Amino acid sequence: MELAHGRVRLKPLASLGRDDWRRVHAHFRDPEIAHLNGTPPNRLPLWLLRRMLQADARRRDRATYGVYDEVDAFIGTAELYDVTPVDATLGIIIGERTHWNRGYGPEAIEALLRHAFEALGLEQVGLHTYADNPRAQRAFRKVGFREVQRVTHRGGRTDVRMILVRAVWLARRASRDAPLPAPVAAGR
Ligand SMILES: CC(C)(COP(=O)(O)OP(=O)(O)OC[C@H]1O[C@@H](n2cnc3c(N)ncnc32)[C@H](O)[C@@H]1OP(=O)(O)O)[C@@H](O)C(=O)NCCC(=O)NCCS
């Protein structure tokens, strides 16, 4: 099932085309993106990476999507993983640098959150990011996540855990959808 929010559409990983998979491969090999994601740059050939990600995406505790912009260009991947009846963990890679800092990440996250809280009925969505990734923290805060824990590992990198609970997401959505107050007439 496709998800959508704003300019962005999320399509199940199984529906990615050949060119989309080339972009996934490039994103996973990119040293900067790998660092932001806390993994070593991927060295697998495209066919094997694709097979592994497709197998992961078939797990019952995952919902993995390709992210597409308003002209249907593939720009990254987003997923819920470790999905239980009550919570899940969110991961996102907008791999196209041309699309960083332009609001595509938060729109893709909003689409995933609606799926998590409405379709799956979860109580909480959490995530892990790094203190040295202020762009990600800013994007996650914009959609309502709040920091709940910071742990500095022996290697020196600090892990930031953020969560968003259903009640907060619903309240934010209600205030966003509320009609604007009527303008006060001048001179009264
Ligand atoms: C993290 C990511 C999902 C954010 O999505 P995005 O579409 O780029 O997010 P936004 O458009 O909201 O931009 C991020 C915000 O951070 C701000 N920002 C960018 N670089 C920043 C920096 N170095 N310090 C502080 N703020 C920064 C931007 O100005 C913007 O805020 P604003 O809208 O208030 O101006 C996306 O950039 C991405 O996938 N990056 C590569 C992989 C990655 O980091 N994944 C997350 C791993 S946990």
pLDDT at 185: 66
Inform me whether the pLDDT recorded for 188 exceeds 50: no
Pairing of strands 124-130, 146-152: unpaired
Inform me whether the pLDDT recorded for 84 exceeds 90: yes
d(Cα 56, Cα 160) in Å, to the nearest integer?
A: 25
d(Cα 188, Cα 184) in Å, to the nearest integer?
A: 8
Inform me whether the pLDDT recorded for 186 exceeds 70: no
Q: Is 138 in the pocket of ligand 1 (CB under 6 A)?
A: yes
Tell me, in angstroms, the distance from the centre of ligand 1 to residue 132's CA.
12
Q: Which whole-number Å values give the CA distances from 134 to 17, 90, 94, 130, 138, in the listed order? A: 32, 17, 15, 8, 6
Inform me whether the pLDDT recorded for 112 exceeds 80: yes
Q: What is the DSSP letter of 146?
A: E
The string of DSSP letters for 61-97 reads T-EEEEEE-TT--EEEEEEEES--SSEEEEEEEE--G
Q: How far is CA 153 from the centre of its chain?
A: 24
142 touches 106 (CB < 8 A): yes
What pLDDT digit, counting tens, does each position of 17-57 carry?
999 999 999 999 999 999 999 999 999 999 999 999 999 99
* Spatial strand order in the sheet of 124-130: 3-5, 8-12, 63-68, 74-81, 87-94, 124-130, 158-165, 146-152
d(Cα 49, Cα 24) in Å, to the nearest integer?
A: 9
Q: Is 139 in the pocket of ligand 1 (CB under 6 A)?
A: yes
Q: Ligand 1 test: best mutation among 138, 142, 159, most atoms within 8 Å of CB?
A: 138
> Taking residues 116-121, what's their average pLDDT?
98
Specify the pTM. Answer: 0.95
Tell me the average pLDDT of the chain: 95
Inform me whether the pLDDT recorded for 69 exceeds 90: yes
What pLDDT digit, counting tens, does each position of 85-98 carry?
999 999 999 999 99
Inform me whether the pLDDT recorded for 151 exceeds 60: yes
Q: Is 143 in the pocket of ligand 1 (CB under 6 A)?
A: no
What pLDDT digit, counting tens, does each position of 3-21 carry?
999 999 999 999 999 999 9
d(Cα 123, Cα 155) in Å, to the nearest integer?
A: 33
CATH H-level superfamily of 3-177: Gcn5-related N-acetyltransferase (GNAT) (3.40.630.30)
Both tokens of 37, joined, read 């994601």
Query: What is the phi-psi region of residue 121: left when phi exceeds 0, alpha when psi lies from -120 to 50, beta otherwise?
Result: left
Within 10 angstroms of residue 125's Cβ, the number of other Cβ atoms is: 27
Q: Is 133 in the pocket of ligand 1 (CB under 6 A)?
A: yes
pLDDT at 180: 78
- Cβ partners under 8 Å of residue 114, min gap 6: 3, 5
> Taking residues 112-122, what's their average pLDDT?
98
pLDDT at 179: 82
pLDDT at 177: 85
> Taking residues 160-166, what's their average pLDDT?
98
The domain limits of the chain are 3-177
Ligand 1 atom at minimum distance from 128 CA = 48
Judged by DSSP in three states, 156 sits in: coil
